[in-house]
Amino acid sequence: MKRGKVEPVEAHLVLADGTVFAGEMMGATPEEGFVTGEVVFNTVLSGYQEVVTDPSYAGQIITFTYPHIGNYGVNPDDNESSQPFCRGVVVRELSRRHSNWRATQSLDQMLTSRGISGISGIDTRRLTRHIRNLGAMPGAFGTADIEELKVAAANEPGTDKIDLVKTVTCSETYRVASTGGERKIVAYDFGIKSTILENLSELGEVIVVPADTTAEVVLEMEPDGVFLSNGPGDPEPLGYARENIKKILGEVPIFGICLGHQLLAETLGAKIFKLPFGHHGGNHPVRNLKTGTVEITSQNHNYCVAEGSIEDVEVTHVNLNDGTVAGINCLTVPAFSVQYHPEAGPGPHDSRYLFKKFEHLLDPSNKQEMPDA
């Protein structure tokens, strides 16, 4: 039986500055005729499923710069969270067919089943250049008329000064069994990815706690170390997290990634600033200042630690694209962090040695000995 052709549904993407892009709807149909969010771009060549399901994209509309998305479908094993938290997805061309032995759905089917709207047929090269020139900004897309989309985009608050962590953190504590090690690690869930949990579980049992869990409760668990996870948005509203980190510092070793890096640095006195269009992709070069080696890293953040704004800390890694701080070691207590994602998911594995570095710190006899790689 021959399938009937599905007619495309015309849609538009409108940025807060009034710029309009024409396209076609994909994924879920927006209930109000449109969705809004902060429009950013990601430069990965593959791994779109991991990107879409990364909780760090809460509040954002993801633009993929790679022109052809969806060709290998999606599968339940590659999700980075139980559900996507992004507001929407923008692509140049959505693959009409997918082919991979692991695939159980198309990307379009996954977006539809999870209630995530998308728009295809967009000139993503033009959109990316626009964001690079003017910075990430709010936007709206859907089937509503252009004037309504302009109003919706103008009213979208973006991610500044909004606590997005509370929208993605777990509601109660849960445990991830060890797959090799014998340590006990408490992981603060600010938007933690499943690939991070896989790497941590190689070191020992992982106890994942909600973002607002008090330091007293964490220390009562007698962990060998505490992990500060990635997460979405602006660290400024997360005063409760900084207060808990302050109480944990010096009690047990701490390792932070992405938002966890920013929160650790802020707790130590650093200033945080917003990047013009953020770092989102799997090809960011970072120099390890101790070894001189260059690591190709996976990154996903809009905010960054200001260089020179913090004492008793040494900068260990620098982003070679723009010179921003990409890693720190605390000189007075056993704590370190990086702005990027050593677990990848998706991306290269150049920086997975950092989990071994954390394991080294979990040994009480090594608390003041920080291996370089």
301 with 56: CB under 8 angstroms?
yes
Tell me which residue of 35, 357, 44, 60 sits closest to 231, measured CA to CA.
60
Q: Specify whether 295 is located in the same domain as 214.
A: yes
Residue 1 lies in a domain: no
Q: Specify whether 27 is located in the same domain as 53.
A: yes
Q: What is the pLDDT of residues 111-165, one digit of tens each?
A: 999 999 999 999 999 999 999 999 999 999 999 999 999 999 999 999 999 999 9
Statement: residue 372 has pLDDT above 90: no
Q: What is the pLDDT of residues 199-221, one digit of tens each?
A: 999 999 999 999 999 999 999 99
Q: Tell me the pLDDT of the chain averaged across its residues.
A: 95
Residue 143 lies in a domain: yes
Residue 107 lies in a domain: yes
Range of the domain at 195: 165-364
CATH number of the domain residue 18 falls in: 3.50.30.20
Specify the long-range contacts of residues 332-335, CB closer than 8 Å, at least 24 apart: 332/250, 333/249, 333/250, 333/254, 334/252, 334/253, 334/254, 334/361, 334/367, 334/368, 334/370, 335/249, 335/253, 335/254, 335/255, 335/256, 335/264
CATH number of the domain residue 254 falls in: 3.40.50.880
Statement: residue 1 has pLDDT above 70: no
pTM above 0.85, yes or no: yes
Give residue 370's pLDDT: 54
Q: Specify whether 255 is located in the same domain as 237.
A: yes
Question: How many domains would you assign to the chain?
Answer: 2
Q: Specify whether 219 is located in the same domain as 142.
A: no
Q: Specify whether 351 is located in the same domain as 210.
A: yes
Q: Specify whether 150 is located in the same domain as 227.
A: no
Q: What is the pLDDT of residues 83-121, one digit of tens each?
A: 999 999 999 999 989 999 999 999 999 999 999 999 999
Give percent of the chain with pLDDT exceeding 90: 92
190 with 230: CB under 8 angstroms?
yes
Residue 273 lies in a domain: yes
Element (H or E) spanning 152, and its range? helix 146-155
**3-state class of 110 per DSSP?**
helix
Residue 33 lies in a domain: yes
23 with 13: CB under 8 angstroms?
yes
Q: Among all residues, which ones are annotated catalytic?
A: 258, 341, 343
Distance (Å) of CA 253 to CA 185, 235, 258? 10, 21, 17
Q: What angle do CA 168, 282, 356 make, to 5 degrees?
A: 75
